[in-house]
């Protein structure tokens, strides 16, 4: 073996090592979260964790159901509020706007994806919460406020991935439908949206992941009461806020219970990731075939 | 009742256009709201003085230093790993189960919420490895968070370098590594830099992962083992505990401006890069 070959092999080995960094980090995170979080779940009973209604860490009662329901509610709310607007934007920008307007609006929307979540939360506190309190009553810090802010926060994600999905369609789809006398809207509704469905679904799932995982904005506006809200105007605590609120002072079994909260969050996110992955790889396969 | 397709289209267009207008308005409103209240607070002394009385008076100098230190730490760790991964995936191997696993890992990592990174960084770096609340713990945690972004953008940058560049280099008798370092990487550099800058934006804005790993000390950090507060953590604490609204707005304005700047630079670079190769 020559010196050059040896050097090349060495470089390849180093790069292979680097390539495993992401997978290893993922593995290490999984191991640590589960190792810290699952023992207390089994000791206290998995059922009590998942379906218990009472979160009193001081008394050793760790019912996470209010937080699980809370996370699902605000996420669902965010989708109901955010997705229609996001799709409207995606359709307008790909099908109805002039290229010039698209070239201005798309980057503006993408620039805003970088605004930190604390800023969104803060705007929620100073603008939205008082508005809800005065208009609908209640404390203002509520499921509704959290849903609206999260709905806004997922807009850039859903918009840009939906635009990519619509733009990736072969031009012949559009041309064929228009040539048959369909209006632009009929083309969008009957041809483009159905064909881009898997990409759009992937964008919604990714938006959902962002909403479930969002922490700081939610803490600031959701009110954080650890009880299942009966109306959208009542405060709510999500899985993420449960961790962030109590992490700074928790110890012993309480801290373990927060890691258990992390385990549940982790599982939800992994399921969503896999779904998004399946949905977009189905699209890729169909494009190839 | 059947509506004529042309009328239907006209109605739908009105609805969709108004929804788009509302969306753009809301997003711009958020930026404008922060800037209108925050910009008047900004001054040279706000940027260059340390915070006093928990941030009630004084500026935000130590939090700017903290943010920069954490971001630099994160980039120093994540850039070699991310670019290395991209080079391996794009230049040193072909599509296989292995590359699918690596890509899936990166995708999953990208979807993990920041609070999970915070928990993980807290238990591993702060507690188990004994780094305490420090720039080191926070920087490493952030590095793991931005790794997927750097991998993804570097890979795209490498992929957009035309095949012929590689063929010419190889045909001139270069080794693979010479080809990568002297031909492929220089051509892909703007794209890679774009990914790195994008990650800078993400690090600056991150709060949940940082607050549990870097802590919230207001002193000027002296080493990578000092605890340090970043701008976003400072803003969060000022706003949540109602310490000082003017200073909260001022910090938010600096935060928003720096992120907008970072994103605009990224966008420009990306645009130039795309134009070059298409």
Higher pLDDT: A106 or A80? It is: A80
Q: Read off the pLDDT of residues A69-103 as tens digits, 9 standing for 90 and up.
A: 999 999 999 999 999 999 999 999 999 988 899 88
pLDDT at A191: 93
The alpha-carbon gap from B17 to the nearest alpha carbon of chain A, in Å, equals 7
Q: What is the mean pLDDT of residues A179-190?
A: 92
pLDDT at position B209: 92
| pLDDT computed for residue A266 by the predictor | 93
Query: Which of A185, A248, A276 is nearest residue B12 as measured by Cβ atoms?
Result: A185
DSSP letter at A249 equals T
A184/B9 touch (CB, cutoff 8 Å), yes or no: yes
pLDDT(A288) > 50: no
In angstroms, rounded to a whole number, what is the distance separating the alpha carbons of residues B256 and B200?
A: 13
CA A236 to chain centre: 18
pLDDT of residue A180: 92
Beta carbons of B105 and A259 less than 8 Å apart: no
Q: How far apart are the CA of B175 and the nearest CA of chain A, in angstroms?
A: 8
Q: For position A286, what pLDDT does the model report?
A: 56
Q: Which residue of B23, B98, B121 to mutate against A (max A Cβ within 10 Å)?
A: B23
The answer to whether residue A1 scores a pLDDT higher than 70 is no
Tokens of B160: 């957009």
> What ipTM does this complex have?
0.89
- The pLDDT assigned to B82 comes to 95
CA distance A85 to B22: 8
List pLDDT tens digits, range B179-214: 999 999 999 988 898 889 889 988 999 999 999 999
Q: How far apart are CA B89 and CA A127, in angstroms?
A: 47
Which residues on A lie below 8 Å from B263 (Cβ)? 110-111, 114
According to the model, what pLDDT value does residue B151 have? 94
Q: Do A266 and B112 touch (CB under 8 A)?
A: yes
Distance of CA A129 to the CA centre of its chain: 22
Chain A residues inside the 8 Å CB shell of B115: 213, 215, 240, 243-244, 262, 265
Candidates A25, A113, A268: best to mutate against B (most CBs of B within 10 A) is: A25
Of B24, B106, B208, the CB nearest to A215: B208
Per DSSP, B3 falls in state P
B5/A32 Cβ within 8 A: no
Could you give the count of Cα atoms lying within 13 Å of B250 in the half-sphere of its Cβ? 24
User: Which residues of chain B carry a pLDDT beneath 70?
Assistant: 1, 277-278
Indicate the average pLDDT of chain A: 90
Distance from CA of A219 to the nearest CA of B (A): 9
Whether the per-residue pLDDT at A162 is higher than 90: the answer is yes
B235 and A247: CB-CB below 8 Å? no
Which pLDDT value is given to residue A289? 37
Q: With an 8 Å Cβ cutoff, are A32 and B102 in contact?
A: no
Rounded CA-CA distance A171/B274 in Å is 21
Q: In 3-state terms, what secondary structure has residue A215?
A: coil
Helices (H), chain A: 3-19, 21-44, 46-51, 65-91, 99-111, 117-123, 129-136, 143-167, 171-179, 184-186, 193-195, 197-213, 216-221, 239-246, 252-288
CA dist., res. B206 & res. B260, Å (int): 15
């Amino acid at each position: 073996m020559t010196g050059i070959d040896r050097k090349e092999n060495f470089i390849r080995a180093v790069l292979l090592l680097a390539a495993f960094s992401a997978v290893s980090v993922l593995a290490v995170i999984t191991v640590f979260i589960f190792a810290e979080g699952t023992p207390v779940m089994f000791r206290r009973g998995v059922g009590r964790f998942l379906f218990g209604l009472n979160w009193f860490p001081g008394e050793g009662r760790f019912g996470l159901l209010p937080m699980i329901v809370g996370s699902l509610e605000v996420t669902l709310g965010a989708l109901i509020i955010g997705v229609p607007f996001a799709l409207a934007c995606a359709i307008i920008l790909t099908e109805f706007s002039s290229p010039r307007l698209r070239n201005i609006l798309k980057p503006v929307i993408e620039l805003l994806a970088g605004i930190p979540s604390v800023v969104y939360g803060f705007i929620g506190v100073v603008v939205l919460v008082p508005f809800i309190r005065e208009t609908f009553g209640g404390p203002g810090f509520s499921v509704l406020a959290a849903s609206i802010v999260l709905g806004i926060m997922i807009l850039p994600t859903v918009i840009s991935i939906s635009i990519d999905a619509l733009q990736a369609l072969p031009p012949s789809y559009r041309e064929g439908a228009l040539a048959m006398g369909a209006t632009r809207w009929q083309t969008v509704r009957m041809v483009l949206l159905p064909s881009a469905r898997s990409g759009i679904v992937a964008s919604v799932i990714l938006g959902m992941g962002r909403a479930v995982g969002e922490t700081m904005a939610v803490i600031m506006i959701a009110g954080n009461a650890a009880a299942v809200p009966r109306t959208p105007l009542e405060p709510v605590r999500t899985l993420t806020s449960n961790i962030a609120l109590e992490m700074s002072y928790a110890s012993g079994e309480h801290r373990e219970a927060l890691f258990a909260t992390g385990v549940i969050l982790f599982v939800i996110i992994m399921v969503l990731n896999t779904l998004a992955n399946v949905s977009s790889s189905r699209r890729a396969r169909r494009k190839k075939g | 009742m059947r509506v004529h397709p042309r009328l239907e289209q006209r109605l739908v267009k009105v609805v969709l256009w108004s929804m788009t207008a509302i969306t753009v308005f809301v997003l711009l409103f958020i930026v404008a709201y922060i800037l209108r209240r925050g910009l008047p607070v900004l001054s040279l002394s706000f940027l260059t003085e340390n915070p006093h009385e928990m941030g009630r008076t004084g500026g935000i100098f130590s939090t700017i230093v903290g943010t920069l230190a954490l971001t630099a730490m994160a980039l120093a760790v994540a850039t070699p790993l991310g670019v290395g991964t991209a080079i391996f995936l794009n230049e040193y191997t072909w599509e296989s189960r292995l590359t699918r696993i690596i890509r899936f890992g990166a995708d999953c990592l990208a979807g993990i919420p920041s609070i999970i990174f915070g928990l993980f960084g807290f238990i591993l770096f702060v507690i188990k490895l004994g780094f305490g609340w420090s720039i080191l713990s926070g920087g490493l945690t952030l590095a793991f968070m931005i790794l997927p972004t750097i991998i993804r953008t570097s890979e795209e940058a490498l992929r957009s370098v035309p095949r012929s560049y590689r063929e010419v280099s190889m045909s001139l008798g270069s080794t693979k590594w010479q080809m990568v370092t002297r031909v492929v990487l220089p051509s892909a550099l703007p794209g890679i830099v774009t990914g790195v800058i994008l990650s800078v934006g993400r690090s600056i804005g991150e709060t949940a992962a940082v607050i549990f790993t870097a802590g919230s000390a207001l002193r000027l950090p002296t080493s990578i083992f000092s605890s340090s507060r970043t701008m976003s953590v400072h803003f969060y604490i000022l706003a949540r505990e109602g310490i000082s609204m003017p200073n909260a707005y001022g910090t938010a304005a600096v935060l928003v401006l720096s992120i907008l700047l970072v994103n605009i630079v990224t966008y420009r670079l990306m645009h130039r890069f795309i134009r070059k190769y298409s």
